[in-house]
């Protein structure tokens, strides 16, 4: 499967949930590591919503 690059000035909505609603962020370090990777590889972030079992991000 060929991956297409994200286009500039478009909105993208990413979300994910743990299997069977399992916790995906065990402690605070997990949150900070996740945010660090998001900023490194996927910027700019318009909005982010993170729970222990779920996250959703809107990118511009």
Q: Tell me: pLDDT of 5 over 90.
A: no
3-state secondary structure (DSSP) of residue 60: coil
CB 45 within 8 A of CB 12: no
* Average pLDDT for 14-32: 89
What residue spans define the domains of the chain?
12-59
Confidence of residue 43 (pLDDT cuts 50, 70, 90): low
Q: What is the DSSP letter of 53?
A: S
Percentage of residues of the chain with pLDDT beyond 90: 10
* Average pLDDT for 5-10: 81
Q: How far apart are CA 37 and CA 34, in angstroms?
A: 5
**pTM confidence score:** 0.65
Confidence of residue 55 (pLDDT cuts 50, 70, 90): confident
């Amino acid at each position: 499967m060929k991956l297409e690059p994200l286009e500039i000035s478009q909105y993208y909505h990413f979300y994910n949930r743990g299997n069977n609603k399992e916790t995906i962020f065990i402690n605070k370090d997990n949150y900070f590591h996740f945010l660090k990777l998001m900023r490194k590889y996927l910027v700019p972030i318009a909005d982010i919503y993170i729970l222990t079992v779920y996250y959703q991000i809107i990118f511009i």
